[in-house]
Amino acid sequence: MVKKRLTVILAVVAIALTVWPSGQKAAATEINILPYYVAGNVGDYWTYAYIAPTGVPDFTLALTQVGSGPLTGKYRLGDGTDWRIYDWDASGVNVYENEGIVYSPPIKIDAIQQLDEVVVSPFPEHADFPWYFQKLGSSLTVLAGTFDDVLVQFALDKNFGGPTKANDEFVLDYTAVPYGVTHVSWMAAGIGEIQNRDYDEFGNMLFEYQLKATSVPLPPSLVLLGSGLLGLLALRKRFSK
């Protein structure tokens, strides 16, 4: 069963820029992840389509607000089976619940993260899955269009026995990244997650899905491609009625 949709879908300006896949780096080593993690307003939606495997239905995540109980007023991003409840301030994102796992106190994802450096996941159940952030140095085209300002977040697995061919795919230095890539999320500033992949212990891709449509206003720098533009305009017109 294909799962793991909501690895980091929560989320316009990055304060650092590196280049991938060439491996060249700018002087700055930190980035503010809030523009990538936090996007949209209550009522917005993000529809994703699976590129692989084929035949898996599309799914849509919606941003709502909790209306009752101890988490009243917090934000909920998800669908019927995958969701996250959170809020945020300038210091970062506070995660209160993740698909039924309740955190008390909430998990804090700091706004400022190191680029090109393995960092510990703030989620205690993911102690063996550190993170690694890189800034994409080129645009990324998905079903919804072409995005220029993209942050890549890798989840690594300490149990894979070292780097795999997935690390080679992303030109990750074995010294800097000694663990195998298990999950990758691409996030566009002001939009949120636009692409997601999962890998096994050998570096084989298990699935990939891409953003297909969203109600979030698109940034001026977004270049949409032909039928993608028409499809998105049709969707937005229909949902605006």
Q: Is the pTM of this model over 0.85?
A: no
pLDDT recorded at residue 17: 29
- DSSP, residue by residue, 91-124: TEEEEEEETTEEEEEEEEEESEEEBSS-B--S-G
Q: What is the pLDDT of residues 134-144, one digit of tens each?
A: 999 999 999 99
Residue whose pair of structure tokens reads 């945020």 in the numeric block:
88
Give the residue with greater pLDDT, 217 vs 85.
Answer: 85
At 110, the pLDDT band (50, 70, 90 cuts) reads very high
For the chain, what are the domain ranges? 30-239
Note the pLDDT of residue 232: 32
- 2-6, 12-16, 161-165, 228-232: least confident range: 12-16
Give me the chain's average pLDDT, please: 84
> Residue 58 CA to chain centroid, in angstroms?
17
Options 3.90.930, 2.60.40, 2.50.20, 3.40.1350; CATH of 30-239: 2.50.20
Residue 240 confidence (pLDDT) above 50: no
Give residue 221's pLDDT. Answer: 52
Q: What is the pLDDT of residues 167-192, one digit of tens each?
A: 999 999 999 999 999 999 999 999 99
- Would you place residue 42 in the very low, low, confident or very high pLDDT band (cuts 50, 70, 90)? very high
CA-based R_g, the chain, Å: 17
Return the residue matching tokens 């703030």.
Answer: 122
Percent of the chain with pLDDT over 70: 79
- For residue 22, the model assigns a pLDDT of 35
Using one digit for the tens of pLDDT, what is the confidence trace for 62-100? 999 999 999 999 999 999 889 999 999 999 999 999 988
- What letter would DSSP give residue 159? G
pLDDT at 12: 29
pLDDT digits (tens, 9 = 90+) for 16-39: 223 333 334 444 489 999 999 999
pLDDT per residue as tens digits for the range 121-133: 999 999 999 999 9
Q: What residue ranges in 137-218 does DSSP mark as E strands?
A: 140-142, 145-147, 150-157, 180-188, 192-199, 205-214
